[in-house]
Amino acid sequence: MVHLIEDLAILLLVSLPINLLFHKIKLPSVMGYLVAGVLIGPYGAQLIGDVESVKHLAELGVILLLFVIGLEFSLKRLLKDLVSILGVGGFQLILTAGSVGWILHLYGFEQNQSIAFGLITALSSTAIVLKMITDRAEIDTLHGKLCIGILLFQDICVVPIMLLMPLLAEAGTLSPMHFFLAMLQSIAAIVVIFFLSKLIVPRMLAWIAHIGNKEHLTLSVIFIILITGWVSAKMGLTLAMGALIAGMIISDSEYNHQIIIDILPLRDYFSSIFFISIGMLLQVGIFFDSILFYLGLAVSVVLIKMFLAILSCLFLKNPIRISLIVGMRLAQIGEFSLILAAIGLERGLFNGDQYQQILIMAILTMLVAPLMIQISSKLSIRIFSGMSIEDNKEYKEETLSDHVIISGYGLGGRTLAKVLKEAQIPFLVLELSGEKVKRALTEGLNTHYGDCTQEETLLRAGLKQARMIVYAISDQVSTERAVRLTRKLNPDIKIMVRTRLTSQVEELKAAGADEVIPEEFETSIEIFCRVLRDYRIPNNIIEQQVELIRMEGYSMFRGISLNTESLKKFSTYLTATLTESNLILEDSWACGKTLKKIEISSGAIIIAVVRKNQPYPNPEPEFLIMSGDMLILFGSHMQLDKSIEYLQKGPQ
């Protein structure tokens, strides 16, 4: 027991600085955990020298990791997105597993081992890919959605694959009928455990929450994990499968939010236990004895996975540049593959050498994955930017002139299109997603399907005749490339860009954008505008402050101090003499009174009254104020604020 506590303390000591370091350099901590495990393990510096202890830690890490994954897994969300993820995800998994299994079978592997290797190789790393897509704000891009869809499908398939691994280990002694019956028995066991738990667990949690406190709820969650894992093991399943089921059950309970708050802070520690322990199991000597062989094997796996993922995307009619990005991002072996490999080793499906080969390939491909993700967008643009129009190639440019090009038909693009349509301003929508193109065409909009990073696409959209182009796409790398290309093709066009990343403001302006609108900053502006209006600060003061912030390139929000000249302007705006308008309503105190009776004593002067669009400048003291009149006031903003309150509520 002392050794286990000592080992866990060492893991925590190692994982904390690694997590901080990789967060700083914006890389997934999974890479650091794997390297740290290799360095401190029994085949490295031997800070943890007991192999059996390491295996126990790895098993504990798997159980905890799968419970957290199950806790974040929503059956409702799965059923909602099932149709959208079945296509490309199913094709990628079947194609990759089938191709790898067929190649290995040709090299003399047993059929059951070939199937298992194929399934293990087909899975990619959700932890690495999803984190980097999220950090790069690419979730709403076409390639981001494709990657997430494929990863989600793979995660779903982990459950049946976990059931399949023990059966594949016994495939030599089972007839096809017995194999089929064993698979049905495993599925039936899961269904029984799941529905029994669904009947018992919510009632138990409700009872504990009613008579106990938060600590009792946490203890009951730990009990549910242990008992579900134990029952799963007794019914022929694995402890990890039980932990996954426990997480899924609790995720649908009414107390899931509190449980997630209590458990999820430990998620990174659970992950570190798993990945560091996996790194510790790697026998470094085996790798260095045949380093060229394993490097070549890892390169082959990356190329095969990348090619088949590209093929899967192209098969479902996605653009070739986007398909290349998806292929490069899913070319690694994932963390679930390591879990499945451990199950295969435990059940005798693989021997120790084969398990080491899987570990080496997985770790090598995981280490290279962040680099491939980082360069994927830029590389795809560089490769396909050469596919621009040739001088002798005939093409038909868009016949519009002085129009607006909207690149991206998401929420922002749709809103802009509606406004331009109502204002009868000519515009054209440029979109790369087939679904969004269909939507725009259905709405009767002038729409082009194409990649805004390509010269031919922009020229076909009439870039040289356009007055303005608005980039409302989520792919920041493509946005910067498109802005540079746009400015090169038409130096006079006005370029407006929406961005989610505040760091992109200066880069996009340097690339040639006239206006860059960061979503986060504009939201902040809207918030402080509403706060100031609630305190009755006049509209022109608010507008001047907003204009000042925008003129300074949002430097106030980006942590950059305003220069002295700007501060002088800011002070001038606040202290200047101003005008303000105030609409008199039926319940206003001033309604039905003459100007003489009102006698505003706050210092502001009524310089005009507007009634039914008819102005009355310098009204006489006997002028009767009626409901619907617009009073034009003159004074400082403090005087105006007091006067408007006086007109509404009267003398206090």
**Backbone dihedral region of 395: left (phi > 0), alpha (psi from -120 to 50 degrees) or beta?**
beta
- Tell me what pLDDT residue 536 has: 61
| Exposure letters 23-51 (e unless 16+ CB within 10 A, then b) | eeeebbbbbbbbbbbbbbbbbbeebbeee
177 band by pLDDT with thresholds 50, 70 and 90: low
**Candidate from 205-209, 477-481, 588-592 with smallest mean pLDDT:** 205-209
d(CA 559, CA 292): 50
Express each pLDDT in 220-240 by its tens digit.
877 877 888 787 777 766 677
State mean pLDDT over 266-288. Answer: 77
Check residue 360 and report its DSSP letter.
Answer: H
| Exposure letters 341-354 (e unless 16+ CB within 10 A, then b) | bbbbbbbebbeeeb
- Tell me what pLDDT residue 469 has: 93
d(CA 344, CA 114): 12
d(CA 357, CA 286): 9
Residue 118 in this model has a pLDDT that exceeds 60: yes
d(CA 437, CA 50): 59
- Tell me what pLDDT residue 47 has: 78
**E strand or H helix that includes residue 499:** strand 494-499
CATH 3.30.70.1450 applies to domain 576-652: yes
Closest CA to 640 of 611, 616, 607: 607
Check residue 428 and report its DSSP letter.
Answer: E
d(CA 164, CA 340): 10
**Candidate from 67-81, 346-360, 409-423, 573-587 with smallest mean pLDDT:** 67-81
3-class SS of residue 562: coil
Rg of the chain over Cα atoms, rounded to whole angstroms, equals 32
> CB-based contacts of 129: which residues, under 8 Å, 6+ apart?
147, 151, 329, 330, 332, 369, 373
The residue whose two tokens read 């600085």 is 17
Write down the domain spans for the chain.
2-40+61-379, 404-513, 576-652
HSE-up of 281 (CA within 13 Å, CB side)?
29
Residues recorded for the chain: 652
3-class SS of residue 26: coil
Neighbours of 169 (CB within 10 A): 21
Check residue 560 and report its DSSP letter.
Answer: P
Check residue 624 and report its DSSP letter.
Answer: B
Per-range mean pLDDT, top range of 41-45, 488-492, 580-584: 488-492
**Percent of the chain's residues with pLDDT above 90:** 11
d(CA 425, CA 49): 73
560 band by pLDDT with thresholds 50, 70 and 90: very low
| CATH topology classification for 404-513 | Rossmann fold (3.40.50)
**432 vs 610, which has greater pLDDT?**
610
Residue 642 in this model has a pLDDT that exceeds 70: yes
Q: Are 165 and 347 in contact (CB under 8 A)?
A: yes
State the pTM of this model.
0.65
State mean pLDDT over 76-96. Answer: 70
State mean pLDDT over 101-123. Answer: 88
CATH C-level class of 2-40+61-379: mainly alpha
- Tell me what pLDDT residue 436 has: 83
Q: List the beta strands (DSSP E) in 166-253.
A: none
- Tell me what pLDDT residue 561 has: 47
**Candidate from 45-49, 105-109, 276-280, 376-380 with smallest mean pLDDT:** 45-49
Q: What is the per-residue DSSP string for 348-387?
A: TSS-HHHHHHHHHHHHHHHHHHHHHHHHHHHHHHHHHHT-
